[in-house]
Amino acid sequence: MAKPLVSSRADALAGTARVPGDKSISHRALMFGALAVGESVVEGLLEGDDVLCTAQAMRALGAEVERRADGSWRLFGRGVGGLAEPDGLLDMGNSGTGARLLMGLVATHPFTTFFTGDASLRSRPMRRITEPLGRMGAGFVTRSGGRLPAAVIGTAEPQPITYELPVASAQVKSAILLAGLNTPGETTVIEREATRDHTELMLRNFGATVTVDPLPEGGRRVTLTGYPELVGRHLRVPADPSSAAFPVVAALVVPGSDLRLPAVGINPLRTGLYQTLGEMGADLRFENSRVEAGEPVADLVVRFSELKGVDVPPERAPSMIDEYPILAVAAAFARGTTRMRGLAELRVKESDRLAAMAHGLAACGVRVEENKDSLTVHGTGAPPAGGATIAVNLDHRIGMSFLVLGMATAQPVAIDDGHTIDTSFPGFAALMNGLGANIGAGKE
């Protein structure tokens, strides 16, 4: 059953809130813990539906995975190459990261694994991984268009490859590197634009040899040495900068707001939104910068700000790929025009986010232009009208973006289904309401 939600104008948002753990890092922590020899303990794991699907999948592949009473997760791994054939389908829910990384991992195990997901995931492109993984020796049976459900026929004789990514995608890079774990020799991925490097950082932390060489013309060459012995680790997952983005933009657009968000990941390959908000005039500070489990973190302090429109260069897209929906909301409150370019990948996320933002903002009275791979938002400096109900189409970030919009528009903004928010930010409405927002049940 759908769960409609409505967000009405809020008075100042104030207080301190810990946003949930990083989704990208949480998936990887479960996968690498399941591959390591011995015990791993993960604190601060995101307990969103996406990550819970990965936990279930790692169990189905033979690892011990349990949530302990103190909220930490304990894993007992199988060793690289030690995964076992699952006896049922792996249902990855809404998660592109879970599906693509695991399809890479099992591609070099000598058994067949069947993958499926929800209607959103079943519509997403998988050829971007089946093509390079096929070169490593794996076979695939997919639905038309290379979509899930799919069977991954793992190879017993994997070949290492050197592969240049045709699209800037950390999921594709990671799928190949994970396949390279149970492959002899060196597996190399060349990326012309650097994408999030959590796989590289965490694999090294677990004991693998991963070298990263910058390319003279930009980008990186990432090389993994096969058959590493991964050893169990104790990890603390930083708060997710992609989730923190929602309270941050909410504070920027609701007058009088002042928020503190502790221990947010500030990996430079994830912080494009924060750089852009700074250019727009946001009063946003990083305090107590430190490193936790190999990842940089800081406390974010943000206050209401009068924003101005900016040009966001296309080369910034990989470092803020999940943040364009909420940036478009910030842009709707800014004075002047914000141009976002290089957004073709937004069309193949959990939904077509370019179209979703263009249509939804227009329905709320914002002047927007949508092109093949760009979005232009014309802000007037005054709050938009609001007053629309937005179809989220199984896309958590679209849902949260429009609820944030409604916190400062003249009329409330509703979404048709809030369930999907649990994929990445369980407890979003309660957390925001605790800071002063007015999110309530909407009309069926």
Closest CB to ligand S3P among 192 and 335? 192
108 counts as binding ligand S3P under rule CB under 6 A:
no
Across 234-257, b (16+ Cβ under 10 Å) vs e yields ebbbbbbbbbbbbbbbbbbbbeeb
Question: What is the phi/psi pair of residue 139, to 5°?
Answer: -115, 160
Distance CA 148, CA 386 (A): 36
Coil, strand, or helix at residue 141? Answer: strand
Closest CB to ligand S3P among 40 and 169? 169
Please check whether residue 246 is in contact with residue 421, taking contact to mean a CB–CB distance below 8 angstroms.
no
395 counts as binding ligand S3P under rule CB under 6 A:
no
Length of the chain: 444
Shortest distance in whole angstroms from residue 102 CB to ligand S3P: 12
Shortest distance in whole angstroms from residue 10 CB to ligand S3P: 27
Token pair, residue 158, equals 């994997």
Please, which of residues 309-368 interact with ligand S3P by CB under 6 A? 321-322, 345
Closest CB to ligand S3P among 155 and 242? 242
Shortest distance in whole angstroms from residue 353 CB to ligand S3P: 10
Please, which of residues 173-192 interact with ligand S3P by CB under 6 A? 174
Closest CB to ligand S3P among 37 and 167? 167
Please select the residue that binds ligand S3P; options are 7, 97, 123, 130, rule is CB under 6 A.
Answer: 97
Shortest distance in whole angstroms from residue 276 CB to ligand S3P: 16
Beta bridge partners of 231: 37
CA angle 237, 239, 245 (to 5 degrees): 150
Distance CA 414, CA 328 (A): 17
Token pair, residue 420, equals 């999907």
Please check whether residue 183 is in contact with residue 172, taking contact to mean a CB–CB distance below 8 angstroms.
no
Please, which of residues 112-171 interact with ligand S3P by CB under 6 A? 169-171
Closest CB to ligand S3P among 301 and 349? 349
CA distances (Å), 330 to each of 196, 370, 435, in order? 23, 17, 19
Token pair, residue 359, equals 């249509």
Please check whether residue 378 is in contact with residue 353, taking contact to mean a CB–CB distance below 8 angstroms.
no
Residues 6+ apart with CB under 8 A from 273: 241, 245, 320, 323, 326, 327
Closest CB to ligand S3P among 196 and 233? 196
Choose the catalytic residue: 197, 322, 352, 417: 322
Per DSSP (E only), the strands in 196-334 are 210-214, 220-225, 234-236, 258-265, 283-292, 295-303, 311-312
Shortest distance in whole angstroms from residue 23 CB to ligand S3P: 7
Closest CB to ligand S3P among 195 and 305? 195
Shortest distance in whole angstroms from residue 384 CB to ligand S3P: 26
196 counts as binding ligand S3P under rule CB under 6 A:
yes
Give the binding-site size for ligand S3P (rule: CB under 6 A): 10
Active site residue 197: no
Shortest distance in whole angstroms from residue 91 CB to ligand S3P: 19
Distance CA 72, CA 182 (A): 28
**Residue with structure tokens 């590493």?**
228
Distance CA 273, CA 323 (A): 6
Shortest distance in whole angstroms from residue 57 CB to ligand S3P: 15
The pairing of strands 39-43 and 73-76 is: antiparallel
Residues 6+ apart with CB under 8 A from 238: 21, 22, 25, 44, 263, 264, 265, 292, 293, 295, 297
Please select the residue that binds ligand S3P; options are 24, 26, 187, 351, rule is CB under 6 A.
Answer: 24
Closest CB to ligand S3P among 10 and 340? 340
Other beta carbons within 10 Å of 382? 9
> Widest CA span of the chain, in angstroms?
62
Contact residues for ligand S3P (CB under 6 A)?
Answer: 24, 97, 169-171, 174, 196, 321-322, 345
Residue positions annotated with a catalytic role: 322
